[in-house]
């Protein structure tokens, strides 16, 4: 298990390197520099700015310099907000995004998995059709449609929850979490239903029934372990999706999170910010994938023993 983790971490390093390199090249390939989009800047000032940010150096030198900084954990200063470093900005935006992603994941897992398992218990009946239809709605309604609709109904019309902000008013985290999490809840519901149905048709479930075990015990002890494996496997890509999804949700709900900073940085051509955030997200996603893979392996006794190297 341990060896597996180390191997995967080591494999991740070249991947991150590739991510950095591609992002770096892309960003610098963009026509126009970071300052040309602004109001007209006199050439001498432009030169001075470029010198200050090392933009007048040859590309490969900039690249090596950047790599060196990254290894030391320094993402450099923000181009758009002089005086603030990228590290600072990431640190300020991270808590909100992390919280949002966490709540959304909670919504997705709890509602999704329970709906799916519930539906699988009585397939092709109302108990199945209702949750799965709701799930279909969740999949077909993008977050940027659902969010505003929820805001319209629950925020403006019914005035049950606040419509924007984060942490300012009680309950203002509800709508964003639901908006972000619903799509994934729907997908997880379908995955868990599929997984459970597959398991419930297995021979060993019939054996458990023949032994006189109660239905609830069969579901919780025998079926769940196998049935939720597709859900666990999905957690990694789900997390990557949540990161992407946060862009939109934070924009709609005016949440000061990393996602929104990223979109703004992209528009502003804030090179260092773009680079830093990309690397940060990529690393996070890779780690998360590793964790979910390890959980999936740990859940399967056969793979678990193989992973320990002893047969």
Partner 1 sequence: MALLEVNGLKVHFHTRDGLVKAVDDVSFSVDCGETLAIVGESGSGKSVTCYSLLDLLPKPPAKIEGGSALFDGVDLLTCDSTQMRSFRSNDIAMIFQDPMTSLNPFITIGEQLIEPLIYNPDKSRTQTRSAARLRAIELLDEVGIIDPEKRFDCYPHEFSGGMRQRVMIAMALINEPRLLICDEPTTALDVTIQAQILALIKKLQQKRNVAVIFISHDLGVVAGIADNVIVMCEGTVRETGDTEAIFYRTQNDYTKKLLAAIPEGAKVMPSRLQQDSPMIEVKNLKTYFRDYGKPLAGARPEKRYIKAVDDVSLHIQRGEILGLVGESGSGKSTLGRSILQLAPITEGSVQFSGTEISALSRHQLIPWRRKMQMIFQDPYASLNPRMTVYETLAEPLLYHGLANAKTINHQVQLLMDDVGLARANLRKYPHEFSGGQRQRIAIGRAIATKPELIIADEPVSALDVTIQAQVLDLILDLVERHNLTMLFISHDLSVVRYISDRVIVMNKGVIIEIGETEALWASPQQPYTQQLLEAIPLADPKSERARLASAS
Partner 2 sequence: MDASIEKIDEAGSSLWQDAWVKLRKNRLAICGLVVLLLLGLVSLLTPWIAPYGYEEQNLILGASPPSAEHWLGTDIFGRDMLTRIMYGGRVSLTVGLIATAVALMIGVLWGATSGFVGGRVDAVMMRLVDILYALPFMIFIVLLMVVFGRNIFLLFFAIGAVEWLTMARIVRGQVMTLRKQEFVEAAYSLGLSQWTIIRRHIIPNTLGPVIVYTTLTIPSVMLLEAFLSFLGLGIQPPQSSWGLLISYGVETMEEFPWLLIFPGLTLSITLFALNFLGDGLRDALDPRTSKD
> Which residues contact partner 1 (rule: CB under 8 A)?
3-4, 7, 124, 202-204, 206-214, 217, 221-222, 225-226, 297, 299-303, 305-307, 309
CB of 86 to partner 2, least distance (A): 15
Q: Does 1 bind partner 2 (CB under 8 A)?
A: no
Task: List the one residue from 5, 67, 121, 141 that touches partner 2 (CB under 8 A).
Answer: 141
Nearest to 59 by CA among 19, 29, 23: 29
Q: Report the alpha-carbon distance of residue 265 to residue 228 in Å, rounded.
A: 38
Comparing CB distances to partner 1, the nearer of 137 and 303 is 303
Partner whose footprint covers residue 267, from partner 2, partner 1, none (CB < 5 to 8 Å by kind):
partner 2
- Interior/surface letters 82-111, b for 16+ CB within 10 angstroms, e for the rest: eeebbbebbeebbebbebbbebbbebbbeb
Partner whose footprint covers residue 213, from partner 1, partner 2, none (CB < 5 to 8 Å by kind):
partner 1
Comparing CB distances to partner 1, the nearer of 193 and 222 is 222
Q: Report the alpha-carbon distance of residue 283 to residue 19 in Å, rounded.
A: 10
Comparing CB distances to partner 1, the nearer of 127 and 202 is 202
Partner whose footprint covers residue 257, from partner 2, partner 1, none (CB < 5 to 8 Å by kind):
none
Alpha-carbon Rg for the chain, nearest whole angstrom, is 24
214 φψ region: left (φ > 0), alpha (ψ -120 to 50), beta (else): beta
Q: Report the alpha-carbon distance of residue 24 to residue 74 in Å, rounded.
A: 15
Partner whose footprint covers residue 179, from partner 1, partner 2, none (CB < 5 to 8 Å by kind):
none
CB of 294 to partner 1, least distance (A): 10
- Listing DSSP states for 80-97 in one string gives SSTT-BHHHHHHHHHHHH
Q: In this structure, how many other beta carbons lie within 10 angstroms of the beta carbon of residue 121?
A: 17
Partner whose footprint covers residue 206, from partner 1, partner 2, none (CB < 5 to 8 Å by kind):
partner 1
Comparing CB distances to partner 2, the nearer of 78 and 277 is 277
Using CB under 8 A, count the residues that bind partner 2.
Answer: 44
What contacts 28, CB < 8 A, 6 or more positions away? 59, 62, 271
Nearest to 180 by CA among 251, 116, 234, 232: 251
What contacts 129, CB < 8 A, 6 or more positions away? none
CB of 13 to partner 1, least distance (A): 14
Q: Report the alpha-carbon distance of residue 27 to residue 34 in Å, rounded.
A: 10
Q: Report the alpha-carbon distance of residue 208 to residue 211 in Å, rounded.
A: 5
Q: In this structure, how many other beta carbons lie within 10 angstroms of the beta carbon of residue 308?
A: 12
Comparing CB distances to partner 1, the nearer of 47 and 209 is 209
Comparing CB distances to partner 1, the nearer of 102 and 204 is 204
Binding mask 2-31 for partner 2 (x = CB under 8 A): -------------x---x--xx--xx-xx-
Which residues in the 119-138 window bind partner 2 by CB under 8 A?
Answer: 136-137
Task: List the one residue from 49, 266, 291, 297 that touches partner 2 (CB under 8 A).
Answer: 266
Q: Does 37 bind partner 2 (CB under 8 A)?
A: no
Q: Does 114 bind partner 2 (CB under 8 A)?
A: no
CB of 158 to partner 2, least distance (A): 14
């Amino acid at each position: 298990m341990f060896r597996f983790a180390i191997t995967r971490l080591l494999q991740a390093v070249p991947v991150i390197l590739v991510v950095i390199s591609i992002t770096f090249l892309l960003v610098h390939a963009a026509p126009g520099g970071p300052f040309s989009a602004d109001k007209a800047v006199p050439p001498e000032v432009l030169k001075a700015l470029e010198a200050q940010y090392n933009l007048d150096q040859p590309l490969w030198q900039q690249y090596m310099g950047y790599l060196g900084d990254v290894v030391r954990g320094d993402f450099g200063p923000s181009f758009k907000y002089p005086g603030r470093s990228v590290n600072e900005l990431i640190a300020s935006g991270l808590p909100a995004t992390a919280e949002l992603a966490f709540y959304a994941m909670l919504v997705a897992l709890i509602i999704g998995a329970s709906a799916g398992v519930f539906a699988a218990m009585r397939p092709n009946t109302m108990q199945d059709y209702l949750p799965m239809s709701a799930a279909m709605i969740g999949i077909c309604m993008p977050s940027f449609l659902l969010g505003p609709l929820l805001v319209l109904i629950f925020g403006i019309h019914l005035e049950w929850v606040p419509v924007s902000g984060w942490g300012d008013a009680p309950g203002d985290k509800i709508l964003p979490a639901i908006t972000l999490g619903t799509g994934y809840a729907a997908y997880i519901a379908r995955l868990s239903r599929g997984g459970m149905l597959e398991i419930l048709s297995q021979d060993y479930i019939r054996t458990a029934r023949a032994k006189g075990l109660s239905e609830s015990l069969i579901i919780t002890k025998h079926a769940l372990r196998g049935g939720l494996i597709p859900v666990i496997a999905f957690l990694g890509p789900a997390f990557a999706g949540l990161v992407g999804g946060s862009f939109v949700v934070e924009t709609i709900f005016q949440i000061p999170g990393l996602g929104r900073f990223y979109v703004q940085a992209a528009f502003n051509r804030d090179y260092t910010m773009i680079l830093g955030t990309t690397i940060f997200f990529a690393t996070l996603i890779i780690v998360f994938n590793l964790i979910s893979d390890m959980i999936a392996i740990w859940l399967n006794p056969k793979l678990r023993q193989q992973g320990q190297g002893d047969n």
